[in-house]
Amino acid sequence: METDQPLLSVGFSVNYPNRPGTLRRVSFEVGKGEVLGLVGQSGAGKSTIALAILKLLGLKGGSTAGHINFRGQDLMKLSEREMRSIRGREIGLVLQSLLSSLNPALRISTQLAEAWRVHASGSKRDCAVTIERALASVALPQEREFLDRYPSQLSIGQAQRVLIAMAVMHGPSLLIADEPTSALDVITQAEIIKLFARLNQTLGTALLYISHDLLSVLSICHRIAILYEGEIVECGPVQQLLDKPVHPYTRQLFGALPHGLERLISKRPFTLPVPFFPLGAGKPDRRPVPQSWLEPAKGGAKPVPPQ
């Protein structure tokens, strides 16, 4: 991983007319090919950070002050027209709301084609080849029968994969995933986490993984930034935060992890069958991880079919 110049470096504050100081001096970096986890409780401002990076806060009446350096240029100085050439092409976004992200009246093929035309031009064959590659990268069928479906005819897991296919279609160097597993069942969550890890490893796509689920963040991230009351209070490698958390909120979060989990950290991506606790639970839960979860499956783990 190249570390001389980060892919993304931000330092900004966010205000809303009725909520001044929503985010204060938020600062972090994402290296090329790195997976950075952004963790915080619901309402802490995680999604606000994603929208601020893409300069979309104005749609909600928010304002951003500071810098957002991406690939050597400050996005804060770009016009809306210039930003449109970056959103979706150089920075992909996967939102948590599947229903609002896919148009229920359009077939999947139409929506994928529209996502292609925004940043590309060429023949129908060029479009079809790109769509096939994008679907293959997220383990979705490329047959016409699947492409002719409407969003209501997809499972939740399939719909999430379609959104990810749209986000990676143009080969972005950075992918922002905002709570991408919050609406999924446990098995599908595990598959989506593995998918993000594979995209990072095979395509070299850097990932800003935003979640309130600390276990999913631990499973794939190289470093973690902790967001608390509108500020990044701590940021560092996973093992460092596990061994020596500094901020009281970080200590509370990691103190709630079960014993034995640290043995899984070196084997990312890993998945656990069920969540142990809600993030930010007041009383630490120190139940041990069952030994069977820490031992590799004999003969290799059996893959779970895409949902």
C-alpha–C-alpha distance, residues 235 and 157, integer Å? 31
Series of mean pLDDT values for 10-residue runs along the chain (307 residues): 78 92 94 94 89 91 94 95 94 83 94 93 93 94 95 91 94 94 84 91 93 88 94 93 91 80 57 37 38 42 39
pLDDT given at position 31: 95
Strands 223-228 and 174-178: unpaired
Q: Are 177 and 210 in contact (CB under 8 A)?
A: yes
What 3-state class would DSSP assign to 273?
coil
For residue 269, the one-letter residue type is: P
Mutual orientation of helices 124-137 and 156-168 as an angle, nearest 10°? 120
Q: Residue 135 has what pLDDT?
A: 95
What are the tokens at 229? 């009351």
How many Å apart are CA 268 and CA 50, to the nearest integer?
A: 24
Among the listed residues 91, 90, 97, the one whose alpha carbon sits nearest the alpha carbon of residue 50: 91
Neighbours of 154 (CB within 10 A): 19
Residue in the structure block whose two tokens are 């809600």: 278
**Residue boundaries of the structural domains of the chain:** 8-294
Measured between alpha carbons, how far is residue 302 from residues 140, 205, 290, 296, 298 in Å?
18, 26, 19, 11, 10
At residue 75, φ and ψ (nearest 5 deg) are -65, -25
| Strand order across the 231-237 sheet | 91-94, 174-178, 206-211, 35-39, 223-228, 231-237
Phi, psi of 94 (to 5 degrees): -120, 115
pLDDT at 103: 93
- pLDDT for 171 equals 92
Q: From CA 288, how far away is CA 261, in angstroms rounded? A: 8
Assigned CATH class of 8-294: alpha beta
